[in-house]
Chain A
Amino acid sequence: MQVLYGRHHVRVFRFGLRLVRNEQVAEDLISEVFLDVWRQAGKFEGRSAVSTWLLAITRFKALSALRRRKDVELDDEAANAIEDTSDDPEVAAQKKDTSEALRTCLTALSAEHREIVDLVYYHEKSVEEVAEIVGIPENTVKTRLFYARKKLAELLKAAGVERGWP
């Protein structure tokens, strides 16, 4: 368990943190995730990578934690309304720093869009693996990421950042 924890806990923590946006909750989350893994080790059938299995459990736990926090809803509006200590897109644009504006806008995406962007870009998960983690069809995975990118483009455009696309 120590080896498994040592190898995966940072990525599990970061994935959870991006979903729940609270370090304390994210830390509690990883303890719960690995404890579940300890309890359910016999159920792991090896059909997917261990990291995919861990991220799927993390996502489930994160959504449960969010549901427990009654003040948080999982729609775009509420996700965008969560207080964020970093700059908003307009402020970032004033800094004329495309990279920073991009990171700010990535933070401003809805939970649904954030998770798919993170799974594909940061956790380097294939279409099939994302479908397994999120529990949606593969075609939905592709279209959801496209629309997450479209939303990102809109946020950047609103912030006055030109990237050459679209």
Chain B
Amino acid sequence: MMATSNKILEREPSEIEMLLPWHAAGTLNARDSRRVDDALARDPELARQYAAIREEYAETIHLNESLGAPSARAMQKLFAAIDAEPVRRPQASLNIAARFTGFFASLSPRTLAWSASLGAVLLLLQAGLIGAVLTNKQSGSFETASLSNNESITRDLGAATLPRALVRFAPDARVADITALLDKYQASIIDGGKGGVFRLQFGNRTMTKGEVADLLGRLQSEKTVSLAVAAQ
């Protein structure tokens, strides 16, 4: 038994064997995960090693969780240092990107396995931002030059903005679900708010109060949405 154990420890590990810890943590991609599952099903020795890895995984979490949290002193020190920093001009576009990325960073690793879809959503965000910029450029008033009567034909586009809402997605919402939701409601993300709340703009026409209320009601009932409230 001892000799067998030593032999196992001395040989070079196989590719599948080296992937076992990531399989236990659920951070493998779908292809590798299937490869490991197949190998585990046909190799009892590998399955025994995997059981040991599951123990290591559980105890590593236990050990880290037992380390507690930092005192308030660390936060006070940090914010005192930030207050002492020279004032900088905020970079709005970077802040939005960082908040958006931060939201996805807070999702579980399994969710993040949808990294390919994330690229698509980031493109969508970019499109939303471009849309928001174009909308802003078009705000204000315009007049036609051809019609003349006593009634003013000036239309204030600023007052007729498209419906918007502040939305927080469910913590277990997958990127694909969020993309589908945006498609379904013809919505664009135009801003990333604090705490994972996003400002969404809907459709291409103005809505009555009743229509907006109905839209918010439908949004709120979506399982990928945990909060939806009207926004300016």
A-to-B contact residues, CB < 8 Å:
1, 3-5, 7, 9-10, 13-14, 17-18, 23, 26-28, 30-31, 34-35, 38-39, 41-42, 44, 46, 49-52, 98-99, 102-103, 106-107, 117-118, 120-122, 124-127, 142-143, 145-146, 149-150, 152-154, 157, 163-166
Contact = CB atoms under 8 A, between A and B. Distances in A.
A143 B104 CA distance: 29
Given A46-B98, A149-B53, A164-B52, A124 B26 contact: yes
A24 to B, nearest CB: 9
A1 B70 contact: no
Contacts of B15: 142
Contacts of A106: 56, 59-60, 63
A90 B56 CA distance: 18
A10 B72 CA distance: 11
A121 B21 contact: yes
B: contact size bracket: 35 or more
Contacts of B194: 3
A31 B85 CA distance: 14
B147 interface: no
A27 B184 CA distance: 46
Interface stretch (B35-43, B76-84, B134-142, B203-211): B76-84
For the complex of A and B, list the 10 residue pairs with the smallest distance between their C-beta atoms, beginning with the closest.
A166-B8, A121-B60, A165-B52, A142-B18, A49-B105, A50-B105, A102-B59, A27-B74, A31-B78, A122-B64
Contact of B25 (A28, A124, A153): A124
A136 B108 CA distance: 24
A126 B136 CA distance: 41
A17 to B, nearest CB: 6
Nearest to A129: B27
Contact of B62 (A1, A42, A99, A157): A99
Interface string B81-108: 1100100000100110111111011101
Interface in B101-127: 101-102, 104-106, 108-109, 112, 122
B153 interface: no
Contacts of A49: 101, 104-105, 112
B219 to A, nearest CB: 23
Contacts of B91: 41-42
B151 interface: no
Interface in B14-32: 15, 17-19, 21-22, 24-28
A143 B18 contact: yes
20 contacts: A28-B74, A30-B70, A31-B74, A31-B77, A31-B81, A35-B85, A44-B94, A52-B105, A118-B64, A121-B57, A121-B61, A125-B27, A146-B13, A146-B17, A149-B21, A153-B9, A163-B52, A165-B51, A166-B9, A166-B49
A105 to B, nearest CB: 9
A30 B74 contact: yes
B152 interface: no
B22 A120 contact: yes
B145 interface: no
Which of B63, B85, B99, B101 has the most CB atoms of chain A within a 10 A radius of its CB? Answer: B63
